[in-house]
Structure 1
C-alpha cells in the first residue's frame, strides 16, 4: 500500500496498533457514547452502503453493519494492517461487512459507491484534510451523508490533559508536538473543519461541540489502568524509560485524579460533524 500518510501508517501499525488491539474492549466501551452519536447523526438505514473511515479494530464497522442489515454493505477502511487484521477476525461471519487496508485520503474508491460515510476519531490524521474530504466526497452517492466525530478543545478533555500533566510532573516534559499536525486535536477547531468540508465540495455542513461523559465499569481504577497503556502518559513514560516505581506513582495519581469526577465519569468535549454531497 502506498500512502500519503506514511508516518501515521507506521505509528498505527507498529506502535499504537498492537496496544489498541490489546485494549480493544476497554476502548470500545469508553468511546461508545461517541459512536452512538456518530451513528445517530449518520442516519444509516437498511440496505445502505457505508464507508467507515479509520475503522480501527472494527467496532464502528460492526455497529454500522447491524444497522444496514444483510441487504446493505459496510466497508471499513484503515491505514493500520495490525488493526485491519483484528477487524477482519471480528467480522468473519458477516458477509456484508468487509475491510480494506487503504489510506482514505488517496485511495481510489469506486465513484458514487456509498450512501453514507462515518468515522469515530478516524479523520484527524490526514496529511491534507481537505484533499481527504474531497476524496471521500467523490465516493459518496449524490445526496450521501458523512457523519464523524473529533476531539474538541484540548483543555476540555481531561482524558488527555490529566495523564499528560501527571506524567510530566513525575518525569519531566516530553518533546513538544504541533497540535495542528495530524493527531487527536488536529480538527478541534469547528469553523476550520467546516470550511475544509465546504472547500471539498460538500454542502449542508454542520459542526457542534457536545459534552459527554466517558466511563468504564471499573471506574477510576480501570480508566487509570487504560491511561497507562494508551494516550499521552504512555508516550511520556516510554520517552523517559520510566522505572516501575515511577509508573506506580503515575498510576496512583491518575486513579486519584479520575476518581474526583462525579461517578468517576470523565467529561469530554467532542465535535460532531455532518455534511452532504449535493
Structure 2
C-alpha cells in the first residue's frame, strides 16, 4: 500500500483504539445508520453504477451501497486499516456479495483506475487526510467526468453531544490534554463548511455543495450501555490514553457521561441529536 499518512495507518491499523472499533462494530453501525442513510439517499445510487467507498471500515457502507447498485454494479471499498478490511471481507462473504471488492489503500495517493467510477461515497472516512486538496483531486481521478462525490463528516462540536459530553466528562476528571489544530486530521476536521468547500474548489471539483444537517443518532441499549460506548471510543478514550488513565478513571468518566445522557433519554433509550456536514461535488466534465 502506498501511503503518506503513516500516523493514521498506525492508529487505525495497529493501535488498541483501532481494535476497539472492531469490538464495538455492531453498536457503531447502529448508531451511525442515520448518517449512512443520508449519504446513500443523497448519492442517488442506482442499478449498474460503479462506486468507490472511501474509509469503508468494516464494510457496512460498502455492502449497503452494493445492494443499491445490484449485481450489474460494483463497489470498491478502500481503507487504511488491514484489520478492518479483514472483517469487511468476512461480512461480504457471509452475505455472498459478489459485487464488492476491498482494497488496502491510502485514498490520498492510491493510483485508482482512472475514470472508472460513477460515484464516490464516504460515511466519516474523509476527515483524516494530511493533504485534503491532494486527496480530493486523487479521488476525482477515479471518477468518470461528471461523477459525484458524497461525503458525510461531523459538524461543529457544539452540535454533537456524541463528542461533547464524553470530552467534558473526561477532561473534568483528568484535565485538558494539549490543544490541537481543529482543522488537523481527525473526526472534527471538516466542521467548517466554507473551509472544506474551498478545499474542494482548489482540487478542481465543480458543482460543490456543503450543508449542515440535523439528524438523530440511535445508540443501542440503555443509558449505561451508551455511556460505556461513549467512554471507550472517541474523545474520552483519547483523554484516557493521553493521561494513562486507570480503569477507575474510566468508570468515573462513564458515570459522568451517563448522568449527562439523562437529558436525552426517551424511556430506556437514548436519542442523541447530531449535526452532520454533508458535502457533494462533481469531477469536472
TM-score normalised over the length of structure 2: 0.94
Q: Which residue of 1 aligns with 2:12?
A: 12
Aligned mates of 2:202, 2:10 — CA distance in 1: 29
Deviation at 1:262, TM superposition (A): 4.8
Deviation at 1:84, TM superposition (A): 1.1
Match of 2:210 among 192, 207, 211: 207
Which stretch shifts more, 249-258 or 57-66? 249-258
Q: 1:169-191, CA deviations, whole angstroms, 9 ceiling, x for partnerless residues? A: 11122232221111111111111
Aligned mates of 1:247, 1:18 — CA distance in 2: 18
CA contact (8 A) 2:216 2:273 kept: yes
1:108-257 matches, cutoff 5 A = 108-257=111-260
Q: Please state whether the residue corresponding to 1:167 is helix, strand or coil.
A: helix
Match of 1:265 among 255, 263, 271: 271
Q: 1:213-253, CA deviations, whole angstroms, 9 ceiling, x for partnerless residues? A: 11123132222110121111112122223233322221111
Deviating beyond 6 angstroms after TM superposition, the runs of 4 or more aligned structure 1 residues are none
Q: Please state whether the residue corresponding to 1:213 is helix, strand or coil.
A: strand
Q: Please state whether the residue corresponding to 2:106 is helix, strand or coil.
A: coil
Aligned mates of 2:242, 2:61 — CA distance in 1: 31
Aligned mates of 2:188, 2:231 — CA distance in 1: 20
Q: Which residue of 2 aligns with 1:35?
A: 36
Aligned mates of 1:244, 1:42 — CA distance in 2: 42
Aligned mates of 1:245, 1:139 — CA distance in 2: 48
Q: 1:127-185, CA deviations, whole angstroms, 9 ceiling, x for partnerless residues? A: 11011000111110112111010111122111111111111111122232221111111
Q: 1:184-209, CA deviations, whole angstroms, 9 ceiling, x for partnerless residues? A: 11111111111111221221111100
Instruction: Extract unaligned runs of 5+ from structure 2.
Output: none
Aligned mates of 1:115, 1:148 — CA distance in 2: 14
CA contact (8 A) 1:145 1:276 kept: yes
CA contact (8 A) 2:31 2:220 kept: no
Q: 1:66-104, CA deviations, whole angstroms, 9 ceiling, x for partnerless residues? A: 100111000000011111111111112212111000000
1:49-60 matches, cutoff 5 A = 49-60=50-61
CA contact (8 A) 1:163 1:254 kept: yes
1:276 is aligned to 2:282: yes
Q: Which residue of 1 aligns with 2:110?
A: 107
Deviation at 1:2, TM superposition (A): 2.7
Instruction: Extract unaligned runs of 5+ from structure 1.
Output: none
Q: Please state whether the residue corresponding to 1:260 is helix, strand or coil.
A: helix
Aligned mates of 2:222, 2:149 — CA distance in 1: 33
TM-score normalised over the length of structure 1: 0.97
Q: Please state whether the residue corresponding to 2:277 is helix, strand or coil.
A: strand
Deviation at 1:125, TM superposition (A): 0.4
CA contact (8 A) 1:50 1:116 kept: yes
1:63 is aligned to 2:64: yes
Aligned mates of 1:270, 1:54 — CA distance in 2: 17
CA contact (8 A) 2:39 2:123 kept: yes
Q: Which residue of 1 aligns with 2:87?
A: 86
